Amino acid sequence: MLMAGCTAEGGEPMTAAPTPAEPPTSTERLTETEALATLETFVREEAAADRFSGAVLVAKDGDVLLSKAYGLADRERDIPNTVQTRFRVGSMNKMFTAVAILQLVEAGKVDLNAALGTYLTDYPNRDVAEQVTIHHLLTHTGGTGDIFGPEFYAHREELHTLDDYVELYGERGPEFEPGSQWAYSNYGFILLGAVIEAVTGQSYYDYVREHIYEPAGMTRTGSLPEAKEVPDRAVGYMDLGGGTDWQPNTDTLPYRGTSAGGGYSTVEDFARFADALLNHELLSLDSTELLITGKEEIASGVSYAYGFEDHRDAGGNGWVGHGGGAPGMNGDLRIYPKSGYMVVVLANLDPPAALRVVDYLDPRLPLDD
């Protein structure tokens, strides 16, 4: 979703997806059966109008209630999407990075209040190294800026590692006094990935595979380079002509996903991730609460936590999660801790293809009173 202070990047990869212009026409709470039935009707209509192509999964307390796919994963070869199709996930990957950091906090290897330079001892810009903390990076309050723009496109195919990004952008100073305001920062999450590598001696990709994907049973999630053949990975399609001219997004993609976003996953794997998180298989109860509880208000009723947005009201109703979007990709994970619902939608079309679906269901889901 488009978060406060974060403008859509005009076609940049791995940015937050824009909020749809028109909200759902009805906010009447339905029964679970009614909500799922009306959702299926809505998604079928969206798919028929070529506004949605992807997969939808709804669960409650770990039990899958709805799991369906729509549209084509590859239009040229007429390959349909399935619930096992791997979709590019954009900034949804930030949730994995935040979990990884808190695992290292639990292990005593990272201090949330420590400065970045504690771990990246040779970081080029000393103001960033000495003033920006891990907490700032996790909450987008460090002023570390973005990675997309002319420099990214000039070097897009050369940026193979997190160190490559640091070499390109590491001389920049903070855009504002760290901790003084909120501004969505993809580069901040690149730096968190670099911290993970520095304190573990592993690549970011190996760490999240061993400590998040494998424990959660996420067998179809990863970040192999785009040039690698990945079975069942959907082609992303971006609209070049008012919803009638869908073209592959190949020339917009980075070399591979990073700790800021990218990579690929499935709706089933995200359901496993949500279950593992809520069952405290990835983090302790206290660390999980720290992870998902909002810390910086970014819009009315919305706070940013650590790699998660917190959309819960004072009574605990609402959701936590994160979306992602870029040309040819859109997704959203919403976990409702109080009611037990979990909704994940992944699409291989431009935003707001997936967001329209989750926004349609959200006000219709029953509350846990």
242 contacts: CB under 8 Å, gap ≥ 6: none
What's the pLDDT at 26?
Answer: 53
pLDDT in tens, 208-254: 999 999 999 999 999 999 999 999 999 999 999 877 789 999 999 99
pLDDT in tens, 64-84: 999 999 999 999 999 999 999
- Measure the CA–CA gap between 256 and 164, rounded to whole angstroms: 12
What's the pLDDT at 27?
Answer: 61
- Cβ atoms within 10 Å, residue 158: 9
What's the pLDDT at 89?
Answer: 98
- Whether 19 has a pLDDT exceeding 90, the answer reads no
- Whether 328 has a pLDDT exceeding 50, the answer reads yes
Biggest CA-to-CA distance, the chain: 57
The token duo for 180 is 């003084």
Q: Following DSSP, what letter does each residue of 134-200 receive, concatenated? A: HHHHHHT-S----S-SHHHHHHGGG--SHHHHHHHHTTPPPSS-TTS-----HHHHHHHHHHHHHHH
What's the pLDDT at 291?
Answer: 98
Q: Quick one: pLDDT band at residue 2, thresholds 50, 70, 90?
A: very low
Rg of the chain on CA atoms, in Å:
19
- Whether 51 has a pLDDT exceeding 60, the answer reads yes
- Whether 264 has a pLDDT exceeding 70, the answer reads yes
Phi, psi of 313 (to 5 degrees): -90, -175
pLDDT in tens, 170-217: 999 999 999 999 999 999 999 999 999 999 999 999 999 999 999 999
What's the pLDDT at 10?
Answer: 31
Q: Which CATH architecture has domain 32-364?
A: 3-Layer(aba) Sandwich (3.40)
pLDDT in tens, 99-124: 999 999 999 999 999 999 999 999 99
What's the pLDDT at 244?
Answer: 79
Q: 14-23, 85-94, 251-260, 308-317: which has the minimum mean pLDDT?
A: 14-23
Domain chopping of the chain, boundaries: 32-364
Q: What is the mean pLDDT of the chain?
A: 92
